[in-house]
Amino acid sequence: MTLFACGLNHRTAPVEVREQLAVEDDKLRELLHDIQATGAVAEMVILSTCNRVEVYGVADVPGEGRSAAFGHLCRHRGVALAGLEPYVYTHLERDAIRHVFRVAASLDSMMVGETQILGQVKDAFALAQTCETVGPTLHSLFTQAFAVAKRVRTETDIGRHAVSISFAAVELAKKIFDGLRGRAVLLLGAGKMGELAARQLVEHGAFPIYVVNRTWARAQELARSLAGNAVPFAELATALGAVDIVITSTGAAMPLVSRSMVAQVMQARGPRPLFFIDIAVPRDVEPSVGELAGVYCYDIDDLRQVIEANLRERAREAERAEALIEREVAKFLLRLGDAEIIPTIVSLRERLEAIRAGEVRKALARLPDAPPDTREAMEALSQAIVNKILHAPITKLRESSRAGAGRSWMQLVHELFGLGGRGDKAEGGWRPRA
């Protein structure tokens, strides 16, 4: 079995491509089951955020697992796989481990050091667990990834310089308006990132706050938490006419804010500018909306420019974090390698112990009058001999496994000592390549 990570992200694909493959939360469970049913992937976790769609898996043939996963993802979204291939990357084994650790620690994020990604990775892992697509290898990998992310956060200053989608949105709004105090904000969608952006705006004096969401109860709940007002979804256009800043973060598959809708709104509101921050993927606002006079429309890729300055501040800390991750990748590989040879070591011990115990019984049968101290001495002597014999092969197994050649030595030990099986199958899924 081989561990792999494949997908596309903000580095390899623009938002126009990423939004084609974005998966709604309620569809992930169905996709996990469908992909697993192909038999091409033994273990699997799917992560779909605004900046990445990635599959982490364990498979006999990683290429087949990758094809099965992305084939289903593309069919779900009605997208041709061939058109996405140039944007898709694949990492195997050590590189896959490193990639998962970097994603969880936010070193692969658009905004290095942001905190949302760790929660998103944990949610993806939890969902895969409920779908029973997580086996021992991915369980160990993600458990370690969460620990590594915590170490990066606590042992470096990577989170010191506040950088996030919400922070970038506020910085962008401040550039458009001469201060945010008294600016009316409309939150379209009740997602976490939109909520964080709204809270940032409130902290900078923006008021009042309106919330529009297709689920009315959620709109009311979020409006109460922001000391704002919920607005029925059917009155979206009316709400647009009353605000200065619009933050959109829905999970809609198609734009909810059209050019024609905004054009009518702008005719009624006169020269007062309207500022859209569209952090949804797929985007909630038609791109041509930004062409209208008095309308400023930014999507998630535009936020990249705002955060570049703070990213530079974090670059130095990121270097420390990268070094930490390299050490953790090495430790994880060693641990998996040790886990690979444990069944062979246990079988070897059991084999020699059975021989020792049998020979001791035979010897004592010929010495029925042997006193207790003699019996104890024979037991101790035989156990010491077994331990001496075991020392060399166990040491060699560990060394060879850590050197990436454990499989051949396990086979040799199995043949020499007549152990069950050939020793060529690691229990618990993936093993390092020999």
CA distances from 178 to 38, 164, 173, 291 (A): 57, 22, 9, 22
Point out the catalytic residue in the list 6, 50, 131, 297: 50
131 catalytically annotated: no
Q: What is the spatial distance between Cα 363 and Cα 175, in angstroms, rounded to a whole number?
A: 91
Element (H, E) at 119: helix 116-130
Which tokens belong to 153?
């956060």
Task: Give the CA angle between residues 11, 12, 16 to the nearest 5°.
Answer: 100
Contact by Cβ (8 Å): 213, 239 = no
CA distances from 50 to 18, 98, 361 (A): 8, 21, 69
Which tokens belong to 22?
């974005």
Strand partners of residue 297 = 276
Q: What is the spatial distance between Cα 265 and Cα 292, in angstroms, rounded to a whole number?
A: 11
Q: What is the spatial distance between Cα 35 and Cα 73, in angstroms, rounded to a whole number?
A: 9
Q: What is the spatial distance between Cα 75 and Cα 73, in angstroms, rounded to a whole number?
A: 6
Peptide bond just before 208 cis, omega within 30 deg? yes
- What phi and psi values does residue 7 have, to the nearest 5 degrees? 160, -165
Task: Residue 276: name the closest of 264, 288, 267, 268 by CA.
Answer: 288
| Helix ranges (DSSP H) in 187-285 | 192-203, 216-225, 236-240, 259-269
- What is residue 109's DSSP assignment? S
Query: Which of 120-151 are b and which e, b meaning 16 or more Cβ less than 10 Å from the residue's Cβ?
Result: bbeebbebbeebebbbebbbbbbebbbebbeb
**Is residue 103 helix, strand or coil?**
helix
Q: Annotated catalytic sites, by residue?
A: 50
